[in-house]
Amino acid sequence: MRITDIRIFPVGQFLYVKIYTDEGLDGLGEASLSGRSLSVVEALNAIKPLLIGQDATRIEFIWQDIFRGTFWRGGPVLQSALAGIDIALWDLAGKKLGVPTYRLLGGAARERVLLYRHVRCDNIRNMVNHAESLVKEGYKVLRMSPFDAFSSDSGSFDVVRGLQGSVEYIAALRETVGLDIQIIFEAHTRLTPPQAIQLCNQISPYLPYYVEDPIRSENPASFAHLRAHTDVAIGTGEQLHDKWTFRELIERELIDFLRVDICHTGGITEGKKIAAMGEVHYQELACHYTASPVSTAAMLHLNLSIPNCAVQEYAPSGKTMGDIVKTSHIENNGYLQASNDPGLGIELNEKAAEIHGPQLPDEPPHWRRPDGSVTDW
């Protein structure tokens, strides 16, 4: 089965990759990189000539050839492009053999994957009402981001007020949902290590499942400092892009949950390797996603196949995306299950994708502190 063509479909904030073969089969992948998708398009255009004529079933070979075949390797742009190719190839492999992709990854280690949903945090009343509705729908893990309430529409974040107000938010959420519901606290990497220590220790009595991205992930020493001063579980990794950037955090056991985003880390192939590294250190995957049905499906098949999956990020697709990407996975009572459809169980409506087109400008918000200096998104 030889690759005959590769097409790129920018749809809203997402970037889809479709691989075509001489057997009439095609595979769908995703290479979204928020704010930098146009750069990924250029990377994909550079990679495309290398893939035409290749055997589409040699997934590991193609991964290694793209990653190691040039002097400059890795980084978020190239790894996102590689992810789009890799996910599409795994989709193709399942279609070629007529089985769901997870069966080619070692089979099902679980029957379904636990999901978490985002809770609105613009104010406490809306947060409580939204949380109650999600719990009634069957969700057992909720993620809160109370810093949103202390960020202005102009892009300013007041970290002092955010730290002070967060306790009130998580206390209200815990009182609302009780002890049977897990709460993830999202900090969006906006804190310094001392601020992160303060946050973790002041919300510890409310039993967070873990604190997500309290600090930037580039410097493992910062996580070592944080680790030494709090007993709250920590999760990070959505800004990391391969097993090497995860390695020190895993091997030194500086975090508890691996926030792998397979659309940034080179796809399913690399995601499974990172999961295996984490298994040795009793760390679990809590996958980040791009909010797209394609990444949702790809993560589902990865998570079904590994022993150390904790939870998967999730939001239902709206009608527009539902018309563009048809999915067959089943969401029920806070869990996601794969269907018996071959591959990843997804199909792209190319005409609808082309009509919708990209969302431009493709640029994330640029946050500022009250004094006007730059802070992290």
Catalytic residue among 241, 264, 288, 301: 288
> 3-98, superfamily in CATH?
Enolase-like, N-terminal domain (3.30.390.10)
Spatial contact of 7 and 55, defined as CB atoms under 8 Å apart:
no
Q: Looking at residue 335, what is its pLDDT? A: 98
Q: Is 309 helix (H, G, I), strand (E, B) or coil?
A: strand
C-alpha 245/C-alpha 260 separation (Å) is 11
- Separation in Å, CA 92 to CA 50, 298, 375: 18, 12, 42
Spatial contact of 151 and 160, defined as CB atoms under 8 Å apart:
no
C-alpha 209/C-alpha 67 separation (Å) is 35
Peptide bond into 214 cis (omega under 30): no
Spatial contact of 290 and 32, defined as CB atoms under 8 Å apart:
yes
What residues have CB less than 8 Å from 74, skipping those under 6 apart?
A: 67, 241, 242, 244, 245
C-alpha 27/C-alpha 87 separation (Å) is 8
Which tokens sit at 341?
């459809």
Q: Does the active-site annotation cover 288? A: yes
Q: Looking at residue 367, what is its pLDDT? A: 77
Domain ranges of the chain: 3-98, 103-343
C-alpha 328/C-alpha 149 separation (Å) is 36
Spatial contact of 325 and 348, defined as CB atoms under 8 Å apart:
yes
Cα-based torsion angle of the residue sequence 364, 370, 372, 374 in order, rounded to the nearest 10 degrees: -40
If you write DSSP's letter for every residue of 38-107 in order, what string do you get?
HHHHHHHHHHHHHHTT-BTT-HHHHHHHHHHSSSS--SHHHHHHHHHHHHHHHHHHHHHHTSBGGGGGTS
Is residue 21 within a helix (H) or strand (E), and if so which, with residue range? strand 14-21
> 103-343, superfamily in CATH?
Enolase-like C-terminal domain (3.20.20.120)
Q: Looking at residue 361, what is its pLDDT? A: 62
Q: Does the active-site annotation cover 188? A: yes
Per-residue pLDDT of the chain (377 residues; tens, 9 = 90+): 999 999 999 998 899 999 999 999 999 999 999 888 889 999 999 999 999 999 999 999 999 999 998 778 889 999 999 999 999 999 999 999 999 999 999 999 999 999 999 999 999 999 999 999 999 999 999 999 999 888 876 677 888 899 999 999 999 999 999 999 999 999 999 999 999 999 999 999 999 999 999 999 889 999 999 999 999 999 999 999 999 999 999 999 999 999 999 999 999 999 999 999 999 999 999 999 888 999 999 999 999 999 999 999 998 888 788 899 999 999 999 999 999 999 999 999 999 999 998 886 667 778 787 888 887 77
Catalytic residue among 188, 264, 301, 329: 188
Which tokens sit at 234?
């920590």
Tokens 């955010």 sit on residue: 162
Is residue 354 within a helix (H) or strand (E), and if so which, with residue range? helix 350-356
Closest CA relative to residue 190, chosen from 225, 157, 153 = 157
Say how many C-beta atoms besides its own lie within 10 A of residue 97's C-beta.
Answer: 14
Q: Looking at residue 362, what is its pLDDT? A: 63
